[in-house]
């Protein structure tokens, strides 16, 4: 009989044999997912690149670098040896920033037994290739079974054991397939306060995770510049529409984007300064530079890279994403915030729903920039 991370007993391995889980990535989210697996009664090994993180977890049961203030159970052990972390694993959670996923995946592939599935917990699009994370894994780990885990999650709340729901997506042989990888992982990770939902739409889940970071920067900018809650609500709603367009273009379903991995994650990330992306945008809106905002912070702001990669992909596919384009113009092209916001407001008036296919010239186009300038002074 195993002992969970919270001290409660667990009756052996779940269906499908996912008992031993390797978590690759000792950041806040990786540490929180390791705790989640422990609470679900799984055997967990956590890999971290930083020797000081490994030492702190093993000796003091803390990860002050990435998850300060959280006490970790003695049953959670860390290593910086991938071979040790992956040994005898039934599944591997890849919890690293999106731009580092390929390198780590190639290293894990060299250590992992054939057929062991990997779960992508990174959100984004690869900078140089423009590939989604599943496509990166297909290249770095050919033939490897994979799933995607995403949803509205702040790592510290998950670590505290507060109620949380996520989506796990993998290919399903048929509707209601209890033997699918996503279903088996949901059973393996589900606990009293961690509730996974199962999906077969990996493309839709991935798009939600990548785009929401960019929209969160937009919402942060709006708040920092003084545009108010009405503006943030509009950005979230129309940002959701941009998610739907991109998901459809990639073969995903609009319905997926209205779920946890889409609107759920989008709402969370766009509404709290706990979000690194929202906080980054907030700083920009307040007139700070990117360097000033990120100084001394170890965590990566995924939306900065995603602002370019998401719009590059959208342009390639012919998908209109004006909010993401506006964020890109501010973050990467030096366009003033007033002008970027004006580019959104002066667009022709359109219908909702889009089936009405209506487009009208904006009647106050010439007054937008002066009015915005007054607000931000």
Beta strands in 68-176 (DSSP E): 77-79, 91-94, 118-120, 146-150, 164-169
Burial of residue 298 (number of CB atoms within 10 Å: 0-12, 13-18, 19+): exposed
**Where do we find the tokens 């994650």?**
265
User: Phi and psi at residue 152, in whole multiples of 5°?
Assistant: -75, 100
CA angle 255, 258, 260 (to 5 degrees): 115
Return the closest-CA partner of residue 188 out of 137, 141, 119: 119
Q: Which two tokens stand for residue 321?
A: 């994403």
CA distance 259 to 168: 12
Q: Which two tokens stand for residue 370?
A: 């002066």
Helix (H, G, I), strand (E, B) or coil at 303: helix
DSSP single-letter state for residue 94: E
Q: Which two tokens stand for residue 163?
A: 């109620």
Catalytic residue among 123, 212, 223, 244: 212
8 Å CB contact between 174 and 183:
no
Helix (H, G, I), strand (E, B) or coil at 126: coil
Residue 130's contacts (CB-CB under 8 Å, 6 or more residues apart) are 309, 312, 313, 316
Q: Provide the CA 309 distance to its chain's centre, in angstroms.
A: 14
- 212 is a catalytic site residue: yes
CA distance 109 to 195: 29
CA distance 152 to 87: 31
Beta bridge partners of 329: none
Active-site positions? 212
């Amino acid at each position: 009989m195993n002992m969970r991370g919270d001290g409660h007993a667990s009756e052996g391995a779940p269906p499908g044999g996912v008992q031993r889980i390797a978590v690759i990535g000792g950041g806040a989210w990786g540490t929180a997912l390791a705790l989640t697996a422990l609470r679900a009664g799984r055997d967990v090994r956590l890999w971290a690149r930083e020797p000081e993180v490994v030492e702190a977890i093993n000796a003091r049961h803390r990860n002050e670098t990435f998850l300060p203030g959280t006490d970790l159970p003695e049953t959670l052990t860390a290593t910086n040896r991938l071979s040790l972390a992956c040994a005898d694993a039934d599944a591997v959670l890849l919890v690293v920033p999106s731009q580092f996923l390929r390198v780590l995946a190639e290293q894990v592939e060299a250590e992992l037994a054939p057929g062991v599935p990997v779960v992508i917990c990174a959100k984004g699009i690869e900078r140089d290739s423009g590939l989604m994370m599943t496509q990166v894994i297909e290249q770095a780990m050919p033939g490897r079974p994979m799933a995607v885990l995403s949803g509205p999650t702040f790592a510290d709340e998950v670590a505290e054991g507060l109620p949380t729901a996520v989506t796990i997506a993998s290919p399903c042989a048929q509707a209601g397939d209890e033997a699918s990888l996503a279903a088996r992982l949901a059973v393996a990770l589900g606990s009293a306060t961690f509730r996974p939902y199962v999906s077969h739409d990996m493309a839709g889940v991935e798009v939600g995770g990548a785009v929401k970071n960019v929209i969160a920067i937009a919402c942060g900018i709006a708040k920092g510049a003084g545009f108010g809650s009405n503006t943030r609500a509009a950005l979230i709603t129309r940002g959701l529409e941009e998610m739907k367009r991109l998901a459809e273009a990639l073969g995903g379903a609009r319905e997926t984007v209205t779920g946890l991995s889409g609107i759920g994650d989008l709402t969370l990330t766009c509404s709290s300064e706990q979000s690194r992306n929202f906080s980054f945008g907030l700083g920009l809106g307040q007139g700070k530079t990117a360097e000033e905002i990120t100084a001394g912070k170890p965590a990566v702001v995924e939306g900065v890279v995603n602002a370019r990669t998401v719009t590059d992909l959208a342009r390639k596919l012919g998908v209109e994403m004006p909010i993401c384009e506006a964020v890109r113009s501010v973050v990467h092209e030096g366009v003033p915030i007033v002008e970027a916001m004006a580019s959104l407001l002066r667009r022709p008036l359109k219908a909702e729903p889009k089936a009405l296919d209506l487009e009208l010239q904006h009647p106050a186009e010439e007054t937008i920039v002066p009015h915005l300038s007054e607000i931000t002074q």
